[in-house]
Amino acid sequence: MNLKRLTAIALAAATLAGCNRPDPVPAAPPPAVGVTQTLALPDFRRIVEQYGPAVVNISTAGVMKANLPQLPPIDVPMHGQGSGFVVSPDGLVLTNAHVVSGASEVTVKLTDRREFLARVLGADPITDVAVLRIDAKNLPTVRLGNPAELRPGDWVVAIGAPFGFENTVTAGVVSAKGRSLPGDGYVPFIQTDAAVNPGNSGGPLFNAAGEVVGINAQILSETGGYQGLSFAVPIDVAAKIERQILQRGRATHAQLGVMVQELTAPLARSFGLNQPDGALVARVVPKSAAAQAGLRAGDVILRVNEQPIVQSNDLPALIDKAEPGERLVLKVWRERQRIELRATLGEAKAGAPQLPAKFDRLGLSVSDGPDGVVVEDAGGLAARAGIQAGDIVLAVNGVPVRSAATLDRMLGARQTGPIALLVQRGDSALYLALAGH
């Protein structure tokens, strides 16, 4: 008997004292949902038994150029592995673009141990989605769901081949939605705490109903393994890429041509805004749709076609839902007043991202700026070394750096000791030691 019921009985007894006529005792109110009631766990076994056979293992082979000191480039064999899932009975498979990138041979292995050489119909590095075809019929398939219905706290299940362990099942919850990762501003990632490791890439993320809501694509880690953060490409984003590849042979993306940053409360007040809602324009790409529309650095984009922009990462995800050539109406805050601009979207070119590149193991996010390689964000090893946002990287171990791509290549090379970075900070230049990796 709960406390509320005991109180009700005590009050009724006091009321009835000295009376011969019994009155009914008022019933205790029902318990509040979510306080004293519990929800049943999803039937993970049913999900795995019903849809696990549609999850495939992918292995790749090819060659890559190796650059050794004082020697000409040489070809070395490369091998990789990942996961995927069947979306049509006639052999259509979805996976990550990075799983098949650079491969000359792609093999798909089913749960019944059959193996097929796959044809890559198309791969989109911007969203990290690839579409494969294998010569097979009557295959088991997954069922696609709606990522918009996901909420933080919802159960999810990942199936894949981490470290080559085939058909491994892990479960967790949705940690957040609409995450924008450095270098991946076009994708509103689903963040989960389901364990995902190398080899899981390209595998499906299921909701509690057994529907695929995402493609497991990335982890943020200082060790190279799972550390509690995994990210999946929403399946509606992947389905759009699949349709484009099947219809046109390639994926296309609209581009506005701005680099935006989060609008903090202090920044909002400095611009005369009551709420830190919107995307703050940090840079406008010359000759882009944004430049032609009249956007400037310091503008705050509040709405796009009456769709509110609450956080900065809302903007690139919304732009990518549009098509190149589409006209948009932008509501902008400039010099403490609202103005309206019109932009005709351009087309993003693969291989020339305008958003920062991310070096996960070092925690360093950079982009090409007018004065050099600009640090957009620093965490992990980079932050501990003293690197700050706004620093300009001038040299690595005494070798000048002129582009983010060059820095990526230099930091990606094997290091046997600390890395000496020469950075410019304001009017000063200083060396910082970054631990090897």
Q: Catalogue the active-site residues.
A: 98, 128, 201
CB 208 within 8 A of CB 120: no
**Cβ contacts of residue 7 below 8 Å, gap of 6+?**
none
CB 147 within 8 A of CB 192: no
The distance of Cα 99 from the centroid of its chain, to the nearest Å, equals 16
Picking from 283, 284, 233, 282, the residue whose alpha carbon sits closest to that of residue 262 is: 282
Strands 337-344, 346-347: pairing kind: unpaired
The H helix count followed by the E strand count for the chain is 9, 29
DSSP, res 356: P
Q: How far is CA 87 from CA 96, 313, 373, in A?
A: 14, 29, 41
Query: Can you tell me the distance from the alpha carbon of 185 to that of 190, in angstroms, rounded to the nearest whole number?
Result: 13
CB 172 within 8 A of CB 192: yes
Q: How far is CA 387 from CA 234, 400, 407, in A?
A: 33, 17, 15
Query: Can you tell me the distance from the alpha carbon of 373 to that of 369, in angstroms, rounded to the nearest whole number?
Result: 6
Query: Can you tell me the distance from the alpha carbon of 316 to that of 254, in angstroms, rounded to the nearest whole number?
Result: 9
Max CA separation in the chain (angstroms): 107
Residue count of the chain:
437
The percent helix, strand, coil of the chain (3-state, each to 5) is: 20, 40, 40
A 10 A CB-CB count for 277 gives 17
DSSP, res 98: H
Picking from 93, 88, 90, 125, the residue whose alpha carbon sits closest to that of residue 106 is: 93
CB 213 within 8 A of CB 94: no
What is residue 232's three-state secondary structure? strand
CB 393 within 8 A of CB 342: no
CB 10 within 8 A of CB 25: no
Which backbone phi and psi does 49 adopt, to 5 degrees?
-65, -35
